């Protein structure tokens, strides 16, 4: 099965010494104060690519999700034997996707993907197979210090987003397939968006036309 689709606007962001989070000044202050870092990253990135009309589906992907918020809840329960309901609502994996939908008034469906090391390729696959237009967002917040002993290396905050519109000037061909390859990384997907070329994953391939 061969599929030709269009890739529209995209945005790639990485934490730096000068920018610990993307610009989210467009979010009302009272709403912004209640958001986690992951939500700010995902929504700040998505804001750079979405059209004015909120009429598109959303696929959000994050391997680690709201681990900072989850740690806060665990500590709260340990110390006070209770959890904040508002804090819990911000700890679930679809919190960023839900917050973005509310903020934009987008009433279309959304998905939240977590698939371990293959989260990126699984999330992109979900977007490729979704009815268009669809927005794909991948986001990770900085790794909590207590987790870093269990990671190969600390995770810096990063993310990317792109639109798959009904039509676009950039055309790519993608095919479901089966390959024995390493998981698709953030850097590899960012490079494809920025420079084109070809991607091979364990479940699909994509090449610029």
Mean pLDDT score, 10-35: 93
Choose the weakest-confidence range: 36-40, 143-147, 160-164, 185-189: 143-147
52 vs 134, higher pLDDT: 134
Instruction: State the pLDDT at residue 166.
Output: 83
Cis, peptide link before residue 133, omega less than 30° from 0? yes
The number of beta carbons lying within 10 Å of the beta carbon of residue 93 is 16
Report the alpha-carbon angle 24-105-32, nearest 5: 25
pLDDT in tens, 52-96: 888 999 999 999 988 888 888 877 767 776 766 666 667 687 889
Instruction: State the pLDDT at residue 1.
Output: 52
pLDDT in tens, 182-199: 999 999 999 999 999 999
Is the pLDDT assigned to residue 125 strictly greater than 90?
yes
Instruction: State the pLDDT at residue 164.
Output: 96
Is the distance from CB of 45 to CB of 82 less than 8 angstroms? no
83 vs 139, higher pLDDT: 139
Domain 3-208 in this protein, CATH class:
alpha beta
Instruction: State the pLDDT at residue 147.
Output: 84
Mean pLDDT score, 136-141: 97
**Backbone dihedral angles phi then psi of residue 35, each to the nearest 5 degrees:** -85, 150
Mean pLDDT score, 145-169: 91
Round to whole Å and give the CA distance between 201 and 189.
11
**Backbone dihedral angles phi then psi of residue 162, each to the nearest 5 degrees:** -150, 155
Instruction: State the pLDDT at residue 94.
Output: 86
Instruction: State the pLDDT at residue 87.
Output: 64
**Backbone dihedral angles phi then psi of residue 102, each to the nearest 5 degrees:** -65, -45
Q: Provide the 3-class DSSP secondary structure of residue 79.
A: helix
Q: Edge-to-edge strands of the sheet including 110-113?
A: 10-14, 158-164, 134-140, 57-61, 110-113
Mean pLDDT score, 179-184: 94
Is the distance from CB of 58 to CB of 135 less than 8 angstroms? yes
Q: For the chain, what is the mean pLDDT? A: 90
């Amino acid at each position: 099965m061969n599929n030709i689709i269009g890739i529209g606007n995209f945005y790639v962001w990485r934490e730096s010494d000068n920018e610990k989070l993307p610009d989210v000044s467009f979010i009302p202050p009272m709403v912004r104060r209640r958001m986690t870092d992951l939500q700010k990253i995902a929504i700040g990135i998505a804001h750079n690519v979405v059209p004015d009309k909120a009429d598109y589906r959303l696929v959000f992907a994050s391997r680690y999700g709201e681990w900072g918020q989850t740690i806060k809840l665990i500590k709260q329960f340990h110390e006070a034997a209770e959890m904040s309901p508002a804090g819990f609502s911000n700890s679930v994996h679809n919190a960023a996707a839900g917050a973005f939908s509310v903020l934009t008034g987008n009433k279309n469906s959304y998905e939240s993907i977590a698939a371990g090391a293959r989260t990126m390729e699984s999330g992109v696959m979900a977007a490729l197979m979704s009815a268009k237009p669809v927005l794909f967002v991948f986001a990770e917040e900085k790794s909590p210090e207590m987790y870093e002993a269990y990671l190969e290396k600390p995770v810096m905050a990063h993310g990317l987003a792109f639109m798959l519109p009904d039509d676009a000037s950039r055309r790519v061909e993608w095919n479901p397939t089966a390959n024995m390859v390493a998981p698709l990384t953030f850097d590899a997907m960012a490079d494809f968006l920025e420079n084109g070329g070809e991607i091979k994953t364990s479940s699909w391939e994509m090449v610029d036309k």
